[in-house]
Amino acid sequence: MIFEIYRNRVNNNLNSLLTRQNALNESMRYSVLAGGKRFRPILTYTTASLFDVKLRQVDACAVAVELIHIYSLIHDDLPAMDDDDMRHNQPSSHKAFGEAQAILAGDGLQALAFEVLAGAKNIMPSIRIKLLNLLASSAFNMADGQSIDLSAVSNNVDVDFLNRLHLKKTGTLLGCAVKFGALLEPKVDNKDIDILSSFSEKIGLAYQIQDDVLDVLGSDESLGKRQNSDLKKGKPTYPSLIGIEESKKAYKGLYAEGIEELSGLSVNAAAMIDLTNKIMHRDN
């Protein structure tokens, strides 16, 4: 299956990258190589495949977006943030290495993401600048989303608030992953970029709502973290506001809308539709 090829490819690239002999390497490798679905890099590879971009040109983008994602998870798990002690079925970084080292591991991964992308010699400099700008703005919006999330703990909020929050916290990096794949094609049409932006907003929000549902229905083992962790911290979730069944309808509807958006692309979107359907039916 092509998606498994993408997953293995980014895993191999991440493993090769994290071989430096320094004090941070062990803690960085611990979180990066712990597993995970690699959904974001798979999105990047899949989008690039729609435009016939060669795999070797996609590698730096796939690695960079995953490094940013992992850095955000390390920091989100910290006691000052979400205070989670499990991630990917192993102790969180701060539990394994201490809070200070976890903060530094996240900082290191964020810096490394930009180093990898800036140094991708097989990508034209003009395109690299666009990619770096997109990664920077996406990382900022993700952090802004986390800040908003922290402000909502134990407060009464509505669904519109949650949507705005998660379009930043979750959706912005998913959108970056999708647009990375398209921007690697120098002649990509602006209409295609707009369609993919709208698509990624819909699936980004759907992914978060689905995560909230799985957080209630899944087990610690299947989730790789504590079940009901958000609810126990007083964080607003879609199921707590609209219920499980309405939440299920909401994310399935958003995935369907995202797939419908893809019909307007100038290229055959069958691979992306297949990936979206697989994500919609995931159980973790």
Per-residue pLDDT band for 48 (boundaries 50, 70, 90) equals: very high
Strand partners, 90: 87
Beta pairing partners, 91: 86
pLDDT band at 180 (very low <50, low <70, confident <90, very high): very high
Beta carbons within 8 Å of 86's beta carbon, 6+ residues apart: 92, 220, 224, 225, 226
- The pLDDT, as a whole number, for residue 232 is 64
pLDDT classification of 44: cutoffs 50, 70, 90: very high
Handedness of CA 206, 212, 218, 223 (dihedral sign): positive
Percent of the chain at pLDDT above 70?
94
**Number of domains into which the chain is organized:** 1
Residue 242: the pLDDT is 94
Per-residue pLDDT at 225 exceeds 80: no
Concatenated DSSP letters of the chain: -HHHHHHHHHHHHHHHHS---STTHHHHHHHHTS----HHHHHHHHHHHHTT--HHHHHHHHHHHHHHHHHHHHHHTSTTTT---EETTEE-HHHHH-HHHHHHHHHHHHHHHHHHHHT-TTS-HHHHHHHHHHHHHHHHHHHHHHHHHHHTTTS---HHHHHHHHHHHTHHHHHHHHHHHHHTSTT--HHHHHHHHHHHHHHHHHHHHHHHHHHHHS-HHHHTS-TTHHHHTT---HHHHH-HHHHHHHHHHHHHHHHHHHTTSSS--HHHHHHHHHHHT---
Give the confidence band of 151 by pLDDT, cuts at 50, 70, 90.
confident
Q: What pLDDT shows up at residue 111?
A: 97
Are the C-beta atoms of 184 and 239 separated by less than 8 Å?
no
- What tokens were used for 214? 């799985």
The dihedrals phi and psi of 227, each to the nearest 5 degrees, come to -65, 145
Looking at the DSSP bridge assignments, the partners of residue 87 are 90
Provide the pLDDT for residue 115. Answer: 97
- CA dist., res. 245 & res. 279, Å (int): 18
Q: Is the pLDDT of residue 222 over 60?
A: no
Average pLDDT over residues 133-161: 91
pLDDT of 79 above 70:
yes
User: CATH number for the domain including 87?
Assistant: 1.10.600.10
Look at 13 and 36; give whichever has higher pLDDT.
13
| Predicted confidence band of residue 228 (pLDDT cuts 50, 70, 90) | low
For residue 86, which phi and psi values (nearest 5 degrees)? -130, 145
Looking at residue 23, its pLDDT comes to 82
Tokens of 178: 């999708």
What integer pLDDT is reported at residue 20 of this predicted model? 81
Average pLDDT over residues 246-265: 97
Contact 171, 208 (CB under 8 A): yes
| Average pLDDT of span 89-109 | 96
Which of the pair, 1 or 199, is modelled with greater confidence?
Answer: 199
Across the chain, mean pLDDT equals: 93
Domain limits at 200?
2-280
Give the pLDDT score at 263.
Answer: 96
